[in-house]
Amino acid sequence: MTARSRLVAAAALACFGAGAAAQGQFIQSPPLAQTVTTAVGAVAPGPTQVPIITWGGDIATVMANGNAKATSKTSIFGKLGLNLRLAREDVFAKQLEAYLSGRSPYLRGTLGMLNMASEAAGRDPRTKPIVIYQLTWSAGGDALVVPADGTTALKAAMGYVSGLTENREGRYGMPIDRAVIDAGAVRFRPMALTAAAVIVGAGVILFDPIFQGLAISLMAGEVASLLLSRMAVPVMYFVMNRNKEVRHAS
């Protein structure tokens, strides 16, 4: 074997070894019905335990409880005669354990999380979940931030581009780039079908010596309007507003 052949073989082995080492490892994620086997128990007496998580959407629940773990008598919940105890639990499996055991009559989660728990919770008719309250309209992009120095005072966070359910422009809604893409994707199919219908309809008179020009105008106009309205106009809108977004974020 020549020196060049040995070098090529060594390089190939090195690449193969690096690829094998970099190969990802799959994480086992069995269903909650297999990992949570807590026996169903009666709801515990005393203050009703209500689960919350470390997330801005639960602030309304905290404040309505008097900004306290136990319900304040002067709070909104207290005036309604409720006696609650807020319990922070970010691990949904532990929430499900508390729900099945009776420590809490409530589950707090997204529809996807509740779907994952449906098999385990539905084994007993007493714990079959019923959705009673929608907490927020969040799509998952909310955040609470603090300054980099760790200060938690509210006035110290002034001037930071942050907030709940706000985009980079400081307005409620999604960022411009995502809005442009989503709008184009949602409206493209119906407008394309409309253009196709007009083109097919105009094809009937395409070979007529009198109306041929009209048919060509209709077809070309539909194609041009489709391209302009779904591609050119959104891109122009994004370019015109991108500088405003950058200035606002800076």
d(Cα 232, Cα 242) in Å, to the nearest integer? 15
What's the pLDDT at 109?
A: 85
Whether pLDDT at 102 is above 90? yes
In degrees rounded to 5, what are phi and psi of residue 86? -75, 135
What are the beta bridge partners of residue 166?
172
What's the pLDDT at 41?
A: 92
Mean local confidence (pLDDT), 61-68: 93
The more confident residue out of 75 and 23 is: 75
Q: Lowest mean pLDDT of 88-97, 159-168, 200-209, name the range.
A: 159-168
Query: Residue 74 carries which side chain, given as an amino acid letter?
Result: T
Mean local confidence (pLDDT), 157-164: 45
Whether pLDDT at 95 is above 90? yes
What's the pLDDT at 249?
A: 43
The more confident residue out of 58 and 238 is: 58
Whether pLDDT at 246 is above 70? no
**Beta carbons within 10 angstroms of residue 111's beta carbon:** 9
pLDDT band at 145 (very low <50, low <70, confident <90, very high): very low
Whether pLDDT at 222 is above 70? yes
Answer for the pair 191, 230: CB distance below 8 angstroms, yes or no. yes
Mean local confidence (pLDDT), 201-224: 89
